[in-house]
Amino acid sequence: MKKNRRGPSVSSTRLLACPACQGEDIDIESSAELGMTKATCLDCGHSYARRCCEENMPRYWNAHVREANTNSDKPKEA
Ligand SMILES: [Zn+2]
């Protein structure tokens, strides 16, 4: 893949795929009222919320995905 430096300047951190369905459509939204930011997989609805600002969410999401993938040895829950 080529390194293209175009695209929106939203975040330089690439979001990992959803740990539940491997979907890559991750939506990040923050609530100023609650001071919470939530990342939601648009494919399966898996979400992860955290008290942080939107800018930091990609890092927390990625950590969440890695942890979930690490624990994915156990049988799938329905
Ligand atoms: Zn998903």
First-to-last C-alpha distance (Å) of the chain: 36
pLDDT band at 9 (very low <50, low <70, confident <90, very high): very low
pLDDT in tens, 17-70: 999 999 999 999 999 899 999 999 999 999 999 999 999 999 999 999 999 999
CA–centroid distance, residue 58 to ligand 1 (Å)? 15
CA–centroid distance, residue 72 to ligand 1 (Å)? 14
DSSP secondary structure string for all residues of the chain: ------S-SS-SSPPPPPTTT----EEEEEETTTTEEEEEETTT--EEEESS-GGGHHHHHHHHHHHHHHTTTSPPP-
CA–centroid distance, residue 40 to ligand 1 (Å)? 8
pTM: 0.75
